[in-house]
Structure formats: C-alpha cells, structure tokens
Amino acid sequence: MKQDAIYTQTITKYLSALEKGDVMGILDLFEKDAEVESPLYGLRTAHDFYTSLAADTKASKIIRKEVFNNGHLVYAAFFNYAWTLSSGEEVNFDCVDLFYFQLNGKIKKLHIIYDTQQTRSAFDELS
C-alpha cells in the first residue's frame, strides 16, 4: 500500500473513531508521546485530550468534506463536527485538523483549528 493511502486511511479511521467516541481506537492511531493542540483544551498529550473530550461529549456526528496533503507528512482533514456536549447542548462547526505523521503511519501531532465563537460559552459552562 502506498504511503499516501496509509495516511488517508488513518484519517478515515480517526474520524470514524472520533464520531463513535472510541478513545482507545483513536489513541491506537497516535504515537505514545503524541500531542494534540485544540482551541478549547490547549496543548495536551493525546491521552489527556481524548480522555477529557470523551468526558465532555454525549454524542458526535462528523461529515467529512475533504482531505488535503502538502506532499510531505502533513495532511489536513476538513469536516463538519456536530458535537453534543455532556450537558446536552449541541454545537455545530466546520473544523480543520492538521495531522503530522511519522513514516510508520502514526500521528505525532494533531493541531485542531476552528472558530470557537459557537462553542466557547457552552464549553465554559461544563466546568
């Protein structure tokens, strides 16, 4: 299998596991020391980020729009995320995730980008 197909397949698995709330399935795609940078949660280890996200999530619905590649080991996934928080409030936004891959196909870093205007107040109420 070509390297490009491996990275694209990992992104597909990631989005599916994220939608299902499958923390272990997500973490299997990451290097052990991987980091995630998020507008709401800041910079965390992948384990800490997905554990916190799972605790704050009641349900998720993801609509994948496009996957882009810069010709190297960085890919971007553009998708719509309908996130139902543990409080029951739903927020819906477009998101771009930047995946920084290792040659072995594992994710070394994930940088999440979206406008928090629609999510910030609902997220702050969880604390």
Tokens 């799972």 belong to 54
Domain boundaries along the sequence of the chain: 3-124
pLDDT of residue 120: 73
Residue 1 is predicted with a pLDDT of 60
pLDDT at position 127: 67
- In this predicted model, what pLDDT tens digit does every residue of 86-98 receive, in sequence order? 999 999 999 999 9
Give residue 17's pLDDT band: very low, low, confident or very high (50, 70, 90): very high
Instruction: Match domain 3-124 to its CATH number in 3.10.450.50, 3.90.79.10, 3.40.50.1000, 2.40.30.10.
Output: 3.10.450.50
Tokens describing residue 62 = 């993801």
Work out the average pLDDT over 20-48. Answer: 97
Q: For residue 123, give the nearest of 80, 90, 98, 97 by alpha carbon.
A: 90
- Specify the pLDDT at position 36: 98
Report the distance separating Cα 38 and Cα 36, nearest Å. Answer: 6
% of the chain with per-residue pLDDT over 90: 83
| φ, ψ of residue 49 in degrees (nearest 5) | -65, -50
Structure tokens at 55: 């605790």
